[in-house]
Amino acid sequence: MLSRSNSRTKKKNRALSIRSNKNKDSSSGGGRHGFSLNSLRGTVQPELSKKLYKLIKSENHLIQCYENAGKERLSVATQLSDWGEATNDDAISDVSDKIGVLLSELGEQEDVYAHNIDDSRAVLKAIRNTEKSVQPSRDHKAKIADEIAKLKAKEPQSARLVTLEQELVRAEAENLVAEAQLTNITRQKLKEAYAAEFAATIERAEKQIILARHGRRILNLLDDTPVVPGDVRPAYEHSNQARQILNDAEDDLKDWQHELEDVPSSAHLEPNLMPREQHNIPQSEIGDESVLHHQHAQGSSDIGVDGSRISSGGSVTTGQPLDSYAPSESEATRSQVV
């Protein structure tokens, strides 16, 4: 089969004809996407991550469209082959079957592309997870500032003001770190995600061109010279050539390689999403008790620009200083939802 190496052996019988495998293909299962509680999470997303959450959901729909397009390509290819066989014309039968093979491979390329977009989409989740983690830090700082404003209005001489103002200093320093983490991961992952998606787009386009050019070669084997009633067309003698064209197409797909301009990255981050050589924020601003935690998203991995799999950045939370406000259990639970 003219396809990815991991499916070439399974579909090898379709290399010369689509008809030998049409029944099995038509009975294959549905898409990989099923109903999930994930579809209900949009209403409980923190304000900071709502827009990216919606974008990621939209990309999921886009992926399904490409998967469906691949299935429709295979359906059309099978129907073309069946029709050609029913014409009882050896030339049309052979040419339509070989074109069906190429069309089915175009469908396979749509499926590969869908999976590559899905990998790119997974990279964006690292930004979304970090946004969700920064929201509690923003809310905590805003809550303390609001309490101070209310207390100054009601009891400007209250001794609690000193405690709250110290707490606000710690909260602002903690938020400063969280915001730096967010901007670091956002720039890195945005660049990585769309570099991977554009690379996948180029691969899909160039492989489609390869298949389309070989498809035109097959069409040249069909003699469309008009005949008058009573004339008999010469026998079709290009079966071997048609098979060789399919072999050529498969070889070209095997030999295809990426030829891309580099998209260099200067993002060299520590596990806490800070630069490896950073100018640390003075300890006096942060407080001795401030702790940073980097939590990796479970069960997710990203695809690097070079095609290698790398661990995706997960959610980031900032530890609470001693004697300071701590989020409720329900808030903490929501901040960890993937």
Q: For 1-41, what is each residue's pLDDT tens digit?
A: 554 444 444 444 445 676 666 555 544 444 455 555 555 55
Of the two residues 140 and 63, the one the predictor is more confident about is 63
Number of domains in the chain: 1
Residue with more model confidence, 201 or 130 = 201
Tell which wins on pLDDT, 206 or 147.
206
pLDDT for position 75: 96
**pLDDT value at residue 267:** 66
State the DSSP string of 186-210: HHHHHHHHHHHHHHHHHHHHHHHHH
Identify the residue with better confidence: 105 or 330.
Answer: 105
Of the listed ranges 58-72, 75-89, 97-111, 311-325, the least confidently predicted one is 311-325
pLDDT value, residue 277 = 61
What is the C-alpha end-to-end distance of the chain, expressed in Å?
Answer: 38
For residue 323, the tally of other CB atoms under 10 A from its CB is 10
**Average pLDDT rounded to a whole number, residues 232-240:** 92
| Angstrom distances, CA of residue 41 to CA of 26, 46, 172, 223, 287 | 35, 10, 29, 59, 35
pLDDT over 60 at 189, yes or no: yes
pTM to 2 decimals? 0.65
Residue 97: predicted pLDDT: 96
Quick check: is 89 in a domain? yes
Residue 105 lies in a domain: yes
pLDDT higher for 64 or 155? Answer: 64
Q: What's the pLDDT at 91?
A: 95
* pLDDT of residue 278 exceeding 80: no
Question: For residue 36, what pLDDT is reported?
Answer: 54
Look at the block and give the residue holding tokens 């942060």: 286
Does 82 fall in a domain? yes
Give the strand pairing for 301-303 and 292-294.
unpaired
Q: What is the pLDDT of residues 260-273, one digit of tens each?
A: 777 777 766 666 65
SS3 309: strand
Has residue 91 been placed in a domain?
A: yes
Q: Does some domain include residue 178? A: yes
CA angle in degrees (0–180, nearest 5) for 197-203-209: 140
pLDDT digits (tens, 9 = 90+) for 100-149: 999 999 999 999 999 999 999 999 999 998 888 888 888 888 889 988 89
| 2 occurs within a structural domain | no
Average pLDDT, the chain: 75
Please report whether residue 302 resides in a domain: no
Residue 108: its pLDDT value, please?
95
CATH code (residue 250): 1.20.1270.60
Contact 52, 125 (CB under 8 A): no
Which residues constitute the domain of residue 74?
47-224+236-255
Tell me what pLDDT residue 59 has: 93
| Domain membership flag for residue 260 | no
